[in-house]
C-alpha cells in the first residue's frame, strides 16, 4: 500500500472540510473494498477520511412504512434489524448475503452505494425500492444516482448520509453468486409498491452497471406471478461477458433470478 494520511472525522461537516483540504482524498467507511484496493495499489489516496464514527450517519429508523438507513450502518445491522425485517425483509435478506460475516460487520450501505460496483447487491435494492439517496447537499432519486460502472451522481467531497424509501407491499432479491467471489453474477430485486408500481432492478449483469428491466416491470404490473415472465426474452447485447459467464448466459440468469424473486416475494 502506498503511503496515506488517515483522518477520523467527527461530523459530516468535519469530513467535508478535511476532504476539501486534502490533495487526492477518499472517504472510507467500512473499507471492505477500499482497503483491499489500496493494498493492491489500484488506489492511492493521499488522505483517507474515516466516516465510521460519525453518529449522525448511524442507525435504522422505521416510522410506519417509511424507512431511513444511515449511510454508516453496517450490512450486519441491516441484516439483523427486527424493525426493518417487519416492513421490508427483502433488504435484510440481501444484506445477510453480502460477503461473509466478518465483512458484514464492517461494510456499510453508504459505502456500497457510493462505490457502485456493477456486481454489488445494494444498488439493485435502491433502484427497485425507488429509494432516495440523501447526501450532505441534496436528495437524489436512485434512478438518477447510478450513472455507470463505479460511477454515481456524487460530486467531489459530497457524502451520502442516509438512504430513504417506503416499505414495499412485496419485494424479494435473488442472486446467482459467483462461486468463488460470491459477488452477484446476476442479482434481481423485484418490488411492488403500496401504490401498485412494480420495479425490477438487475445487478451483476449490465455492462453499464445496475439497470431496470422495463419489459418485466410491465409484465408483472399486469400479473404479479413468475409465469408472467415466461414469454420475455432478455436482450443480451447490453450485458457483461467474462470468463465466468457470457452475455447469453447472464441474459438467461436475469430471467431465472427474476422468476425466483417473484416467487419468493
Partner 1 sequence: MAKVTMTVNGRQVSGHCDDRTLLVQFIRENLGLTGTHVGCDTTQCGACVIHMDGKSVKSCSILAAQAAGSTITTIEGLAADGELHPVQAAFKANHGLQCGFCTPGMVMTAVDMIRRHQGQLDEATVRAELEGNICRCTGYHNVVKAILAAAAEMGGARVAAE
The angle formed by the CA atoms of residues 222, 224 and 230, to the nearest 5 degrees, is 85
CA atoms within 13 A on the CB side of 8: 4
Q: Which residue's C-alpha cell is 441474459?
A: 251
- β-partners of residue 160 are 135
Tell me the number of residues near partner 1 by CB under 8 A. Answer: 27
State the minimum distance, in angstroms, from the CB of residue 238 to partner 1: 30
58 scored as a contact of partner 1 (CB under 8 A): no
Question: Is 35 one of the binding residues for partner 1 (CB under 8 A)?
Answer: yes
Instruction: Give the residues across from 105 on adjacent strands.
Output: none
Query: Which residues within the stretch 233-262 sit at the binding site for partner 1 (CB under 8 A)?
Result: none
Pairing of strands 160-166, 170-177: unpaired
**4 belongs to the binding site for partner 1 (CB under 8 A):** yes
Residue 79 CB, shortest distance to partner 1, in Å, is 11
Question: Closer CB to partner 1, residue 36 or residue 148?
Answer: 36
23 in contact with partner 1 (CB under 8 A): no
Please, what is the minimum distance in Å from the beta carbon of residue 119 to partner 1? Answer: 15
User: Cα dist. 210→58, 84, 126, 128, 255 in Å?
Assistant: 26, 24, 10, 10, 15
Residue among 71, 73, 76, 198 that touches partner 1 (CB under 8 A): 76
Q: Over the range 247-263, which residues count as b (16 or more CB within 10 Å of their CB) and which as e?
A: bebbbebbbbbbbbbbe
Residue 191 Cβ vs partner 1, minimum distance, rounded to whole Å: 25
Q: Which is nearer to partner 1, 33 or 186 (CB)?
A: 33
Positions that interact with partner 1 (CB under 8 A): 1-6, 8, 28, 31-32, 35-36, 38-40, 48, 50, 52, 76, 99-103, 105-106, 182
Amino acid at each position: 500500500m502506498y503511503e496515506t494520511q488517515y483522518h477520523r472525522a467527527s461530523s459530516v461537516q468535519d469530513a467535508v472540510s478535511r476532504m476539501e483540504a486534502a490533495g487526492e482524498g477518499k472517504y472510507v467507511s467500512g473499507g471492505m473494498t477500499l482497503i483491499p484496493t489500496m493494498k493492491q495499489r489500484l488506489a492511492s489516496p493521499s488522505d483517507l477520511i474515516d466516516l465510521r464514527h460519525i453518529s449522525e450517519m448511524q442507525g435504522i429508523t422505521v416510522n410506519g412504512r417509511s424507512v431511513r438507513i444511515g449511510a454508516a450502518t453496517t450490512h450486519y445491522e441491516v441484516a439483523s434489524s427486527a424493525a426493518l425485517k417487519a416492513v421490508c425483509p427483502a433488504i435484510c435478506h440481501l444484506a445477510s448475503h453480502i460477503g461473509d460475516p466478518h465483512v458484514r460487520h464492517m461494510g456499510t450501505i453508504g459505502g456500497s452505494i457510493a462505490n457502485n460496483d456493477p456486481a454489488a447487491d445494494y444498488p439493485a435494492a435502491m433502484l427497485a425500492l425507488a429509494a432516495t439517496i440523501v447526501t450532505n447537499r441534496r436528495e437524489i432519486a436512485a434512478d438518477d444516482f447510478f450513472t455507470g460502472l463505479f460511477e454515481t451522481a456524487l460530486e467531489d467531497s459530497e457524502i451520502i448520509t442516509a438512504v430513504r424509501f417506503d416499505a414495499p407491499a412485496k419485494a424479494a432479491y435473488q442472486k446467482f453468486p459467483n462461486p468463488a467471489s460470491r459477488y452477484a453474477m446476476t442479482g434481481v430485486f423485484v418490488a411492488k409498491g403500496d401504490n401498485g408500481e412494480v420495479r425490477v432492478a438487475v445487478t451483476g449483469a449490465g455492462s453499464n452497471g445496475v439497470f431496470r428491466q422495463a419489459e418485466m416491470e410491465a409484465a408483472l404490473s399486469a400479473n404479479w406471478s413468475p409465469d408472467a415472465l415466461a414469454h420475455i426474452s432478455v436482450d443480451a447485447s447490453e450485458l457483461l461477458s467474462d470468463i465466468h459467464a457470457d452475455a447469453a448466459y447472464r441474459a438467461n440468469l436475469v430471467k431465472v433470478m427474476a422468476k425466483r424473486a417473484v416467487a419468493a416475494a
